[in-house]
Structure 1
Amino acid sequence: MRRLLRRLLEPWMQVSGLLGMCALSSCGLLEFSPNQTLVPAAERQLTTQNLIRLTSRPKQESDTLRFVFIGDCQRFYDEAEDFVASVNQQRKIDFVIIAGDISDFGLVREMRWIHHRLRKLNVPYLTVIGNHDEVGNGRAVYESVFGPLNYSFVYGGTKFICLDTNGREYGFQGQVPDLGWLGKQLADTANTRRSIVLCHVPPTDEDFDPNLVQPYARTIRSSRQLVFHLSGHIHRFTNGQPFHDSVQYLTAYNFRKRHYNILSVWGRRKFNLETVAYAPAL
């Protein structure tokens, strides 16, 4: 009799156990596959969430805009914690820009691990997609966790144009970066005083679609209010004019270098560059 009763109740006990696990983990925290794109609701569409935070602190066009610029945080979790501690000590920072490669293998767990550290920043942070973020089904993961691959926003009279330039991940098919979208964004200067382009792979790198390098450079220099072009990928800071057209191209330190830049922008196209080094926390 006991065995019969146990057999009858066993399916319900299994369901109850699963429900209990789900409750303990808030359901969204269970990982059934390393390639899943499911994330808890609070960690979806982080770009939109951070833009809402940013616009809740309005800034006048005449005010100096001051933001942190860094790239490639993949796998560098201890460094990310120290980075957050350093940025939180800086004065008058409006937001942080991370120039791609949030993850190493395009896994949802990697993007969430980095977010769990970066959410402790006192200011919003914004990202672009990197080539490592597109590994496997990473593109779908990034769209779920962060949001659109190409987007723009205006803050303090400055238009930030953020786009996917990871041409190799698309087989160099001549579609990434999307030059049509970029050109329209640069041409739309309503309610803006200056523009900044942000991407991951710079046009001087072999991972950028070689057939689009010169068209991309022409599109960039067509803007009369561009301050500079920002990217990551090469894991070191550079600052120059590779196309000899007066357009300034900057690349970012990665997290492992334990350095980042603070960029201040004001006037029509004026800017100042500071470099900050941060050490491991004691």
Structure 2
Amino acid sequence: MGDTQRFYDETEQFVASVNRQRAIDFVFVGGDISDFGLLREFRWVHQRLQQLRVPYLTVVGNHDLVGNGRAIYQSIYGPLNYTFQYGGTKFICLDTNGREYGFGAQVPDVAWLRQQLQDTTGSQRAVVLSHVPPTDEDFDPALIPTYTAALRGCSRLVFHLSGHVHRYTAGQPFRDGVTYLTTYSLAKHRYHIISLWGQRQFRLETVTYGPDA
């Protein structure tokens, strides 16, 4: 799911819904944990998400970088770019908030991404996770060609998943065989359960939650 900013009641309802699901391995938050990059916002969301029965992981969103948000995010969650392996999948999580860096052709770090996509030793599949998708105007336009080429060059890539747009989308906008997904903000009272198996197979289920669900 994505974009918890200001949606504290919805976050509590989300946690209750996830805790009723079976066989969830972890929760991924697609950025914009905060709205104004304030410490208390991060704390309010974490207080709710730590009630999950499974771990949760994040990427940094553009709102998380406002003010002192970058330092706060790093103190709570760690590096802005990182990877982990689980269940035969390498998950590559990176900062794609180009506008917040003045479109300086430095973010996202395409060289780092390319290296991670090339090094999939011990993994059957790869998934890239970010906040801003490369189809959005907040992604650095100068880096779209090299970013999408790096993804296209990985034969084990299953999909690219982002938040930011507050709605679900799925498609291959660059017509290169790479699937791009975006997910709902918590304001929409929906989230996705994604299952991965085989070489590049996946299934996506949408869950609606909340008092009226």
State if a TM-score over 0.5 links the two structures. yes
Alpha-carbon shift at residue 84 of structure 1 (Å)? 0.2
Q: Counterparts of 1:1-20 in structure 2 under 5 Å?
A: none
Deviation readout 1:203-251 (Å, 9 max, x if unpaired): 0000000101111110111101000000000000001000001111000
Provide the rounded CA distance (Å) in 2 between the counterparts of 1:235 and 1:73. 10
Aligned residue pairs total 213
What letter corresponds to residue 230 of structure 1 in structure 2?
L
Alpha-carbon shift at residue 280 of structure 1 (Å)? 2.4
2:3 to 69, 72, 85: 72
3-state DSSP class of the match of 2:206?
strand
Which stretches in structure 1 are left out of the alignment for 5+ residues?
A: 1-69
Greater gyration radius: 1
What letter corresponds to residue 105 of structure 2 in structure 1?
G
Provide the rounded CA distance (Å) in 2 between the counterparts of 1:176 and 1:195. 21
Provide the rounded CA distance (Å) in 2 between the counterparts of 1:74 and 1:281. 21
Provide the rounded CA distance (Å) in 2 between the counterparts of 1:280 and 1:258. 10
Provide the rounded CA distance (Å) in 1 between the counterparts of 2:208 and 2:167. 13
The answer to whether the aligner puts 1:277 opposite 2:197 as a matched pair is: no
Provide the rounded CA distance (Å) in 2 between the counterparts of 1:238 and 1:181. 26
Q: Counterparts of 1:17-28 in structure 2 under 5 Å?
A: none
What letter corresponds to residue 206 of structure 2 in structure 1?
T
Partner of 1:224: 155
Is this contact kept in 2: 1:82–1:281, CA < 8 A? no
Partner of 1:178: 109
| RMSD between aligned residues | 1.0
Higher helix content, 1 or 2: 1
Partner of 2:39: 108
TM-score by length of 1: 0.75
The answer to whether the aligner puts 1:168 opposite 2:118 as a matched pair is: no
What letter corresponds to residue 172 of structure 2 in structure 1?
Q
Is this contact kept in 2: 1:79–1:280, CA < 8 A? no
Partner of 2:23: 92
Runs of 4+ in 1 over 4 A off after TM superposition: none
Provide the rounded CA distance (Å) in 1 between the counterparts of 2:57 and 2:130. 12
Alpha-carbon shift at residue 281 of structure 1 (Å)? 8.0
3-state DSSP class of the match of 2:161?
strand
What letter corresponds to residue 171 of structure 1 in structure 2?
G
Partner of 2:61: 130
What letter corresponds to residue 179 of structure 1 in structure 2?
V
3-state DSSP class of the match of 1:72?
coil
Partner of 1:118: 49
Provide the rounded CA distance (Å) in 1 between the counterparts of 2:137 and 2:53. 36
Provide the rounded CA distance (Å) in 2 between the counterparts of 1:247 and 1:210. 18
The answer to whether the aligner puts 1:146 opposite 2:77 as a matched pair is: yes
The answer to whether the aligner puts 1:189 opposite 2:81 as a matched pair is: no
1:211 to 138, 142, 164: 142
Partner of 1:263: 194
Deviation readout 1:127-147 (Å, 9 max, x if unpaired): 000000000111111001111
